[in-house]
Structure formats: structure tokens, C-alpha cells
Structure 1
């Protein structure tokens, strides 16, 4: 595989790292060809740069893909936006008022498995680690979708379904099914 020379991209990712990022890997495929580069460190406290063939977690970018697939299933008549999620995922015994639309719009009230901060009284109810030393030390632990949903459902709902909005990673865990 051949790669194009793109010094401007290498300079840009180095500038990003210089703002305080530990390390960065960038892979680009465009009309000029394929380019891959990295800057900084692969791990805090180490000296190796990020590998050019490294893997990263996609994170919340998957929500866009998930919502697209769910809406395709709606268009195909396989899922109804205003149907109870319980119809599609009965094994979780979700509140029957929670609809597919509420999951997609973050209005379900389901606890966020990465934790919930309650601004009203300043309390924080932890979920799985997603930042800090605890996350770094456990970053290679893989949680199954079922584990994440069960953890979230073991916590109190944030609010009654459909009455408020709160970003919840859990809303997108099991689509289109675990």
C-alpha cells in the first residue's frame, strides 16, 4: 500500500498534540490518496509514538450509525418509532412507556451506564469508568451490551419516560438488538 506525503497534515496533528493531547493517530483517504500519521505518545509516561496501525474506540460516533439503522428498520416497517421498546427487547423488562423514539431522542429516563450527574443537588451516581485513572487501568475491559443495560436498569430512572431530556449512552446499547 502506498501513502501520499502530506507534511501539512503531520504539522496539524503535531499542533493538536502540542495543545495537551497525549497522542493522536490520523488516517485519511481522499482524492490525493491515502495518508496515515501519528504524533505524541501511545501511552502517557511512555516514549513510543502512537502506532500507524492502531485501533481506537469509536465512542459516541456509533450513535449516528445506530439511529440510521433503526430508522431504516422503521422505513421497512420492522420497527415502529412510537412502539414500546418492551415489544422488541422483552428480556430487559423496561418500563412499557419507553418508546423507540424516546431512546433515540434521549428522553427515556434510562440511567446512563457511564454515570449520572444530578445538577439539582450536585450528586453523582457512578456507572462504568469512562475517564481518569480507573478508566486507564481498566480500558481493555470489554462490557457486553447486556451487562451495560443490566447495570443501567439496576439504577433508578433519571425521570419519568418522555418528561425530560438527558444524554444516556444506554439508550443506544442494544440496537437493533443485543
Structure 2
């Protein structure tokens, strides 16, 4: 077996990631390999039981709680949300299934801070009447954090306790997890990571508002995340049933299950999810046939390059497959002016302009997201990937980082799993 600790150290150093933990569970055998420091300002080293924010991997925990409530007969996936939660000011056609599969049409990146009280989710949902409906429910896919806050509020109403308490009682305590938490006052009792920018500078904000909890606020160790992955190897197989195709198939994602992303890696069917908060990125991939679960927790926005190389090597060693190659720019590709304009959704304004033979996209954080944005304005060069198409492009945050696809239509720009409507141009 390769020395994964040494390989993590080599690749993390090359990628500029200050701290990380690699976790591997392979049919009964577990490895947890720590690397680096939790915070460059303090120099505190990463240990196997250090805790990192896992971001949107939290959505799988929330979806698991919903699945438990379905099994208990407290709701069905095709119930309308307003039928269960009449006070929710959202489209009456949206169902629980739409929320779980990002098909609700709600403008999803709403990061409104509604306080630290146990009523924060209730107050957040009450404000959704001000949020745009991007498309009719069930007609498209667009990644939606707001929808998972609504699911968290449904859990509170049906389970008669806060989302945080429901998660602790129904999952953390039953699984015997001692390094999984949702609140900063709990995380501070552990060796907790802080995010870092691309330049390796510690971020100024530790976490997102409590109101975003069900969409992305779990902090935990790699060992605890692997225990949760094992739960899904043994139970809840229905959550891996494909619900909706994933547009574009980036990173090998071919469909969305009940919150899970479903991957095809050279014929092997995996499931998993990623997460990102303020300078912390987490990744989880699971091969049910091989009974293999791999996670990588990091404290740097430079983590994508580390993940793709390291986890591909792990899967190649165990099952003989690597992550599929990403689309790359074509040589000499030029772009027309059809896509020049402004695209906007909650929290983000994308301005596409021509500079010479290239399109350049200026990414501007707006609204409530400004409170947690380390780099509120970033420019990206767009590179065509299909010479006879003109609608498909890629970009990346820095040399050496993975290419990220973008697709233009007359009505919107689709990237990072999100629909961003065209406003001008």
C-alpha cells in the first residue's frame, strides 16, 4: 500500500494547502492521515481528531433526517412544502423532493443572517417571499442552499426540536460521534481549523450564519465523516436512486439522488458530495461495490487541485479508476460577442465582457454574502471548449487548479451547478 501520509504531505505542499486530513475506510480497515497546521497564524498542527467545516456535505445529513421522517410516516417526498409548512412564502407547487434535488427554482444562495437564536431557521424561511423564483418547480436544476434551510425548518416542525438538536439526537449520538458539531461554541472545544485564502492568509471570518445550518454548518473530524459514510453503505440505499440528470456531467456527476451526487468513474458508480465554507473545502466519495469511502478535509481554497490528484490516486490504487478528466480549452479558440452582458442571482453579479479575443467574467459578491466574502471581486478569463458550438467555456481560479465549465444559453449562464439569469446584454 502506498504511504498516503507522505503523498498527502507532498501534494498539499505543492498545492499550497496549509492543513488537511485524508480519511480512507476500505471494507473494515481505516486510515486517517493528518497534515500541516490548522491555522498559519497560530501554527497549531493538524491531528487525526482535528475538526474542519464540511460545508455542503451537511446537506446529506439534513436529507438523511428527512428520510428518517419519511420512514416514520411524518411526510412524503411528494408532499408540497406549503402543505406541511403553510407559513412558508414560496411557490405552492414546490415539493420536498424538489428541495432535495435542487429543482425548486428558488434563488438559492441566500445568506441572510437571522441571528443566533433557535428561531433563526423560522425567521429565515419567513423572508423567502423576497427571493426570486428562477424557473418553474421541477423544470430545471440549480444548486440551492435556501432549499435545504427550508428542509431544516420542516425537520424542526415535524420533530419538535431545533435542527441542531435533531441532528445530534438522531444521528450523532446514535452513531457515537464525539467530533461532530454545528455551533462555534462547540467547535472551540476541539482542535478546529481556520480557512485560508489562495495566498495562504488566514481568513477573517470563521463560519457562516447559523441560519444556513441545514445547508452547510457541520464541523467534524475525518473519522466521524467516515462513520457517517459507513452508515450510508449499510442503510438508506434509496437515497442513491437517481432523481434528476445532472446538466453537463462535470467531474463525472451523471445524476442527483436524494441530495447525493451520483458519479460514473470509468463505469464504477460512486456517490458523494463536496462542501465549501469560508476558506475550507471538504470532499467525500464512496464506492458501494468496493465498500470504499474516501474523504479529504482542508483549510484552503487551493484544495481542488490537491483533491483531484490525491483522491484519484487513492481510487486508482484500490479499484483501478481515477476521477474523469475535466474539459479543457481548445487551442486558438476565440469567442463571439453573443454572451457579453450581465448575469445576476442572489448574492452574485457576473459581468461578461470582451477583451481582445477573450471573454472575461467579473465575479462580484453582493448582498448578505459580502459579510463572509474574503475576495468579493474576482476576474476570470473564459476559454472556449467546443469550436463549432460557441456556448461552452472553461475557466479556473489559478494555474494548476482544475478547469471549471460554463455553459451559456440565451436566457442564463450555468456554472458551478447554478442557473444565473441574464439581466442585460
- After TM superposition, the score normalised by the length of structure 2 is 0.30
The answer to whether the Cα contact below 8 Å between 2:89 and 2:129 also exists between their aligned partners in 1 is: no
Q: Distance in 2 between matches of 1:51 and 1:69?
A: 30
Q: 2:53 aligns with which of 53, 57, 67?
A: 57
Indicate the residue corresponding to 1:168 in structure 2: 144
Structure 2 residue matching 1:67: 3-state secondary structure: helix
Task: Note the C-alpha offset of 1:98.
Answer: 0.6
Residues 44-79 of structure 1: CA distance to partner in whole angstroms, max 9, x if unpaired?
Answer: 455332244322222222323333332343344321
Tell me, yes or no, if the aligned pair for 2:107 and 2:134 is still in contact at 8 Å.
yes
1:99 aligns with 2:101: no
Task: Identify the range of structure 1 (81-90 vs 58-67) with the bigger mean alpha-carbon deviation.
Answer: 58-67
Root mean square deviation, CA, Å: 3.3
Match of 2:82 in 1: 86
Q: Which moved more, 1:147-156 or 1:82-91?
A: 147-156
- The answer to whether residue 16 in structure 2 is matched with residue 38 in structure 1 is no
Contact persistence 1:107–1:166 (CA under 8 A): yes
- Matched length: 149
> Which is richer in strand?
2
Match of 1:14 among 9, 15, 22: 9
TM-fit CA distance, 1:32: 4.9
Partner of 2:241: none
Question: Does the 8 A contact of 2:89 with 2:128 survive in 1?
Answer: no
Label 1:16 to 1:128 Cα distance change in 2 as closer, same or farther (>3 A).
farther
Structure 2 counterpart of 1:155: 131
2-structure distance, mates of 1:97, 1:159: 12
Q: How many Å separate the matches in 2 of 1:93 and 1:128?
A: 16
Match of 1:177 in 2: 155
Deviations 1:107-144 (A, max 9, x none): 10112135xxxxxxxxxxxx469xxxxxxxxxxx9794
Distance 1:58 1:152, change over 3 A: farther
CA-to-aligned-CA distance 1:83-127 (integer Å, 9 cap, x gap)? 21012223323221111111111110112135xxxxxxxxxxxx4
In the alignment, the residues of structure 1 paired with residue 129 and residue 4 of structure 2 have an alpha-carbon distance, to the nearest angstrom, of: 44
Decide whether the 8 Å contact of 2:108 with 2:144 is kept in 1: yes
- For 1:71 and 1:54, locate their aligned partners in 2 and report how far apart those are by CA, in whole Å: 29
- TM superposition score normalised by structure 1: 0.64
Q: Distance in 1 between matches of 2:105 and 2:131?
A: 11
SS at structure 2 position matched to 1:24:
strand
Distance 1:69 1:95 in 2: 23
1:41 match: secondary structure: strand
8 A contact 1:110–1:153 mirrored in 2: no
